[in-house]
């Protein structure tokens, strides 16, 4: 029997039209949630809205650049205006690209941090204000295994995701008294648009052989399922945690 843990719950997802975000939106929707979907890509959001509407699934789309605090405040305001509350935030929007440490320009450094860390903070803080008013809520921040260990050519990305891990722990400490749980998910190699740049088949085969005990790369649904667990009552006593979803890559 399919689970239906989020019947009528309001779930705000950023980056909801991307690989992991879209699968996560579908997962929560299948379990009964109403989705508020934010992203800076209006075209893909419109497509997502069509797909959901065609299947009779409720969705509100919000064209939002998470690095702009004004746009974030407006997205949260519109969500609350439409549905009265936000039960779960999946703070997922992010960007990544490879770049040698010595080549990173101040502009590139700032953009990575602006979206992946500052944006995460703006969305989390604005949503948490609403959750404090409600007296409950769940916040799930998208980090990465790159927030726990280093990887060459990703200094700006790694720094942004490392920041998300400690932001998560600090939020958990401060928001626990308001009955708000805050956790982070740290995926390893998940095949999505973001990973396309490194999806050369020979590279992927060697990567799997040498680095991933479970013998495959991850799928968006591997991460969506963990978000759903963490948002559910089964995770009622888990906060400030970072859950690694990497097929065992960080075990050695
Ligand atoms: N794919 C992986 O292997 C992997 C591994 C670890 C962590 N992650 C993280 O998972 C998250 C989702 O990644 P994905 O693989 O689904 O990538 P993706 O490129 O498919 O999706 C990224 C989403 O973020 C949105 N986005 C980008 N910049 C934005 C901005 N400024 N404002 C609002 N939305 C913005 C995009 O429109 C898109 O919806 C990211 O935070 C990423 O760092 C991915």
Going along the chain from its start, the domains and CATH numbers come out as: 10-243 (3.40.50.720)
Q: What is the pLDDT of residue 74?
A: 99
Q: How much distance in Å is there from the Cα of 8 to the middle of ligand 1?
A: 26
Could you confirm whether 207 is annotated as catalytic? no
Which residue has the CA at smallest separation from atom 32 of ligand 1?
65
Q: What is the pLDDT of residue 199?
A: 80
Which residue has the CA at smallest separation from atom 4 of ligand 1?
190
Q: What is the pLDDT of residue 194?
A: 76
Q: Which of 13, 14, 15 to mutate to test the pocket of ligand 1 (most atoms within 8 A of CB)?
A: 15
Q: How much distance in Å is there from the Cα of 14 to the middle of ligand 1?
A: 9
Q: What is the pLDDT along the chain (252 residues), one digit of tens a residue?
A: 578 999 999 999 999 999 999 999 999 999 999 999 999 999 999 999 999 999 999 999 999 999 999 999 999 999 999 999 999 999 999 999 999 999 999 999 999 999 999 999 999 999 999 999 999 999 999 999 999 999 999 999 999 999 999 999 999 999 999 999 999 999 999 998 777 777 889 999 999 999 999 999 999 999 999 999 999 999 999 999 999 999 999 999
CA 133 from centre of chain: 23
For CA atoms 118, 121, 123, 125, the dihedral sign is: negative
pTM for this predicted structure: 0.98
Q: What is the pLDDT of residue 197?
A: 72
Q: How much distance in Å is there from the Cα of 20 to the middle of ligand 1?
A: 7
Q: Which residues of 111-148 are buried (b: 16+ CB within 10 A; e: fewer)?
A: ebbbbbbbbbbbbbbbbbebbeeeeebbbbbbbbbbbb
Q: In the structure, which protein residues have their CB atom closer than 6 angstroms to any atom of ligand 1? A: 14-15, 17-21, 39-41, 64-67, 92-96, 115, 119, 142, 144, 187, 189-190, 192-195
Q: What is the pLDDT of residue 195?
A: 79
Q: What is the pLDDT of residue 198?
A: 72
Q: How much distance in Å is there from the Cα of 219 to the middle of ligand 1?
A: 14
pLDDT tens-digit map of 2-11: 789 999 999 9
């Amino acid at each position: 029997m399919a689970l239906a843990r989020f019947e009528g719950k309001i779930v705000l997802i950023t980056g909801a039209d991307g690989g992991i975000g879209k699968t996560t939106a579908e997962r929560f929707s299948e379990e009964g949630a109403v989705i508020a979907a934010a992203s800076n890509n209006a075209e893909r959001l419109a497509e997502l809205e069509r797909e959901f509407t065609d299947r009779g699934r409720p969705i509100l789309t919000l064209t939002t650049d998470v690095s702009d605090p004004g746009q974030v405040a407006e997205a949260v305001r519109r969500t609350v205006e439409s549905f009265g509350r936000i039960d779960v935030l999946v703070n997922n929007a992010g960007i990544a690209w490879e770049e040698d440490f010595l080549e990173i320009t101040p502009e590139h450094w700032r953009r990575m941090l602006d979206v992946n860390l500052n944006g995460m903070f703006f969305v989390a803080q604005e949503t948490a204000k609403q959750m404090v008013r409600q007296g409950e809520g769940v916040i799930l921040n998208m980090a990465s295994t790159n927030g726990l260990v280093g990887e060459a050519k990703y200094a700006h990305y790694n720094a942004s995701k490392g920041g998300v891990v400690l932001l998560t722990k600090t939020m958990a400490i401060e928001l626990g008294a308001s009955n708000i749980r805050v956790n982070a998910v740290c995926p390893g190699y998940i095949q999505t648009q973001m990973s396309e740049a490194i999806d050369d088949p020979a590279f992927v085969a060697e990567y799997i052989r040498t680095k991933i005990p479970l013998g495959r790369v991850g799928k968006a649904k591997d991460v969506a399922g963990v978000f759903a667990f963490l948002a559910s009552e089964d995770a009622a006593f888990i906060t400030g945690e970072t859950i690694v979803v990497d097929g065992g890559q960080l075990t050695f």
